[in-house]
Chains A and B, each alone.
Chain A
Amino acid sequence: MALDLKKLDGIGWQENGQAVLSGMALAMLRRLDRLFLLWAGECGAEEYRFPTFIEAGQLHKLDYFRSFPHLVTFPVALDTSPEHLKEFSRSAVIDEAGVVQLGKCAPVREVLTPAACYHFYVLFQGTELKTARNLTTVATCFRREAYYRPLERQWNFTMREIVRIGAAEEVKDFLADYRARIERFLSDIGLPVAWENATDPFFDPSRNPKFLAQKLEPVKTEMVFGGALAIGSINFHRNFFGETFDMRRNGEAAFSGCVAFGVERWLYAFLSRFGPDERSWPSALRSHGIAGDLANDK
């Protein structure tokens, strides 16, 4: 059944790739994230809340701008010299196409967070981990795309991640446990999801050895709903972040892995599969705390 989001209450859409959620849709989104947070609690993950910006210099260490220049969004501010501010404030500011005539800009040193878990590797940079660290955070992530669709593909969207940084086997066990955990849940509620090997969305992939490495030794498994929509992924980073940010475990470069949930996409999958009326949803959703009295959710 195709989902007509335009007929649903609580989902507004802006053509620049941004959704406005309210009512049941917002309550549902919160319930989903609460569920993911509950799962994060099962491994004792410490919860963090990070700022919206991340230093460009840190992402540069990951070769981010060569790998994903098409996705990146920068926060831009005006040059603060009094002359320029005066000039800007007295100008037309915006042209007929809605384009701001910025004039001189302040130097750009930040990026709007493109993936929630990057903040952890920057935070634990230069540390020796006495034990494996289990972590979780949720972030509004920003990615420019060729096209946008409500809930499915947005310029900004909500990403919950559960992360472990540790030794290779510690990380592999963590990822395997979470995959089993999620598989049980999906089977319990009857949400059909295929697990598929995938690669990160590299720019010009055929010329990027990182793409080739991911193809040869898959490190990303996506949870694919409806044959095309990745609602989440399980990622084994090997010791890439450990080496790049000098995080060590047992004296060697730490390994890391993350379980990522695109929360709006989960919302889309639930609405597509179970319909917009929660009264008709299967009872398993109630037992997992996702459905039931959504209208009264605060």
Chain B
Amino acid sequence: MMTEAEIRQKLREWVVRQSGKIRPEELADDTAIIEKRIIKSVRIPDLILFIEEHSGRTIDVEQLKPGVFRNIDTIYRNFFAVKAHGPGPEKA
């Protein structure tokens, strides 16, 4: 099972790779990735798939709340950290 640091690193690598315009050292965990359009809207479905794959949780798009994908911190808190308090719904 991945540690928090490993998960954050994987997320940062994915964002840098998908964006194609930001260098790794420019991306902090509180960098606003959607607001700054580092991740463009067309890539959001891929981000959801990436999170599902690495968290083992299914994401119900209808239930997503504003701000959950704001930055690496919010993604970690909303989709990975909650596992510490019990497993989320398993992916089918």
Measuring CB to CB, which residues of chain A are less than 8 angstroms from any residue of chain B? 168, 197, 206, 209-210, 212-218, 238-240, 243
B66 to chain A, nearest CB (A): 5
- Choose from B35, B43, B45, B61 the contact partner of A217 (Cβ within 8 Å): B35
Q: Which of B6-14, B49-57, B67-75, B80-88 contacts A (4 or more CB under 8 A)?
A: B67-75
**Does B66 contact A218, Cβ atoms closer than 8 Å?**
yes
Q: How many residues of B contact A (CB 8 A)?
A: 18
**Does B36 contact A239, Cβ atoms closer than 8 Å?**
yes
Closest to A210 in B: B41
A199 to chain B, nearest CB (A): 11
> Which residues from B are CB-within-8-Å of A218?
66
Measuring CB to CB, which residues of chain B are less than 8 angstroms from any residue of chain A? 32, 34-37, 40-45, 61, 64, 66-70
Q: Offer 11 A-B interface pairs, CB within 8 angstroms, sorted by A.
A: A197-B66, A206-B61, A209-B45, A210-B42, A212-B44, A212-B64, A213-B40, A213-B41, A217-B67, A218-B66, A238-B37
**Does B41 contact A209, Cβ atoms closer than 8 Å?**
yes
**Does A243 contact B41, Cβ atoms closer than 8 Å?**
no
CA distance A214 to B66 in the complex (A): 9
Closest to B32 in A: A217
B54 to chain A, nearest CB (A): 19
- Majority secondary structure, A binding face: helix
CA distance A168 to B37 in the complex (A): 12
CA distance A243 to B37 in the complex (A): 10
**Does A213 contact B34, Cβ atoms closer than 8 Å?**
yes
> Which residues from A are CB-within-8-Å of B41?
209-210, 212-214
CA distance A216 to B63 in the complex (A): 10
CA distance A243 to B34 in the complex (A): 14
A50 to chain B, nearest CB (A): 26
**Does A215 contact B64, Cβ atoms closer than 8 Å?**
yes
User: Do A240 and B66 contact each other (CB < 8 Å), given the known contacts A209-B45, A212-B45?
Assistant: no
> Which residues from A are CB-within-8-Å of B37?
238-240, 243
**Most interface-central of A212, A215, A218, A238 (chain B CB within 10 A):** A212
> Which residues from B are CB-within-8-Å of A238?
35-37
Closest to A209 in B: B41
> Which residues from A are CB-within-8-Å of B36?
168, 238-239
